[in-house]
Chain A
Amino acid sequence: MRRWRSSLPAWLVWPGPRTLQHALAGVRAVTGPATGTAAMGLVAGVAMAQSGLPMAVLLPMSLLVYASSSQLACLPLMASQAPLWLVGATAAVLNLRFVVFSAEWSRYFHHLSRPQRVALSYFAGDPIYALFTQRHPLPGGNRRQRRREVAYYLGLALSNWAVWQLSSAVGLVLADQLPGANSLRFVTILALLTLTLPMVKDRPTRVAAFAACAVALPAQALPRGLPVLVTMLAAMAAGLLAEHRRPRPHAG
């Protein structure tokens, strides 16, 4: 039995109850933040329906583009027939934070094949990153731990993706019957806010959070997409400084 199992490619082997438990833990952990995802999906769906673009464009966009902020920013550009390079540049700037996140993901997923790594990273949104690094602040050392990390990740990521697909489809179809897109929009913001709360746990993270709050408002004067980047850099610089000021932790 054992030999037979080991001759199969890894993704074909039934994961086993312990691994499934980790996947289910991921599904449970994402329930709250997924409420924010659902609200965002509805908002994105309504925005797509109201953009005036033909349904033949909106359907593939809703199904394939899994990036709420750049999607919302690019819709008006696409609707006004803006040049393609402008659409691409806007999306690239808004997605720059994921380049930073991907450096962190590479520590967890480097044991997988390249297609698997790319497939996994496709689902790596903000809530996924926040929840995952909370449970696994450091990558595991052995195969079993890594397997569980991937299981937890898939539990988080696939349920969040399913919620997004469903809610954006509902928003797209029922756009006219959904009032109050504004309060829905703020539910998303509340969900993002709650995701930051567990990250603030020691002095360096408090300093980083304070720096981000201080820079976020003045940075709004910059062109679209750059405020997020500048604020992120401010938090990183402040956190690094605070980390170096910290007295060395004593053993025990």
Chain B
Amino acid sequence: MLDDPEHRGWLAVALLVLITVLTRAFFLLPGQQPRLPGWLRTCLRFAPLGALLAMVVPEVALNQGQWAPQWQDARWWACAAALLTYFGGRRNINHALFAGMGVLLGLHLGLGW
């Protein structure tokens, strides 16, 4: 059965579904709310910030996995536009995102960066 690529694919998909569900429901599966010590609670407050930045920073700073800074980089200007719009404006994340997207697409399409 494992020789058929389609069956293997289905097994892999089932495995992915199982892992997705198990990881996301990990502390929700036990009948009682898990008792966590106070310091761990404090730590958890910073977890999403760390996880999101872990995904964002390399994508912004590196080019194809390499550190090769150049100022003609649409991604950096897009991030700068998003940050400026957020902290300089009304602290609205939608405004920040659309400003960043505008700069990104403008530089991509207009200047071909």
Interface residues of A (CB under 8 A from B): 31-33, 35-36, 53-54, 56-57, 60-61, 64-67, 69-71, 74, 78, 81, 84, 87-88, 91-92, 95-107, 109-110, 114, 117-118, 120-122, 124, 126, 129-130, 133, 180, 183, 186-187, 189-200, 204-205, 208-209, 211-213, 216-217, 219-220, 227-228, 230-240, 243
Contact with A along B4-38 (1 / 0, CB 8 A): 01101111110111011101111111011110100
Q: Of all chain A residues, which has the CB nearest B103?
A: A190
A/B interface sample: 18 pairs, CB < 8 A: A56-B10, A60-B10, A61-B13, A74-B16, A88-B19, A102-B28, A106-B28, A114-B29, A190-B101, A193-B82, A197-B93, A205-B46, A205-B49, A216-B57, A231-B54, A236-B44, A239-B45, A239-B49
Q: Interface residues of B toward A: which range?
A: 35 or more
Contact A70 B9 (CB under 8 A): no
Do residues B21 and A232 form an inter-chain contact, with CB atoms below 8 A? no
- A interface, by DSSP: helix, strand, loop or mixed? helix
CB-defined contacts of A197 to chain B, threshold 8 Å: 82-83, 86-87, 91, 93, 96
Min Cβ gap A244→B in Å is: 8
Quick check: A91 and B16 within 8 Å, CB to CB? yes
- The CA of A230 and the CA of B21, in the complex, are separated in Å by 22
- Decide if B44 touches A103 in the complex (CB within 8 Å): yes
Inter-subunit contact B65/A220 (CB<8 Å): yes
A194/B29 in contact, CB under 8 A: no
Contact of B46 among A190, A217, A236 (CB under 8 A): A236
Q: How far is the CB of B92 from chain A (nearest CB, A)?
A: 8
Q: Quick one: which of A88, A114, A187, A235 contacts B50, CB cutoff 8 A? A: A235
- Chain A residues within 8 Å of B46, by CB: 204-205, 208, 235-236, 238-240
A96 to chain B: closest residue by CB: B23
Complex interface: chain A residues within 8 A of B19 (CB): 70, 88, 91-92, 95
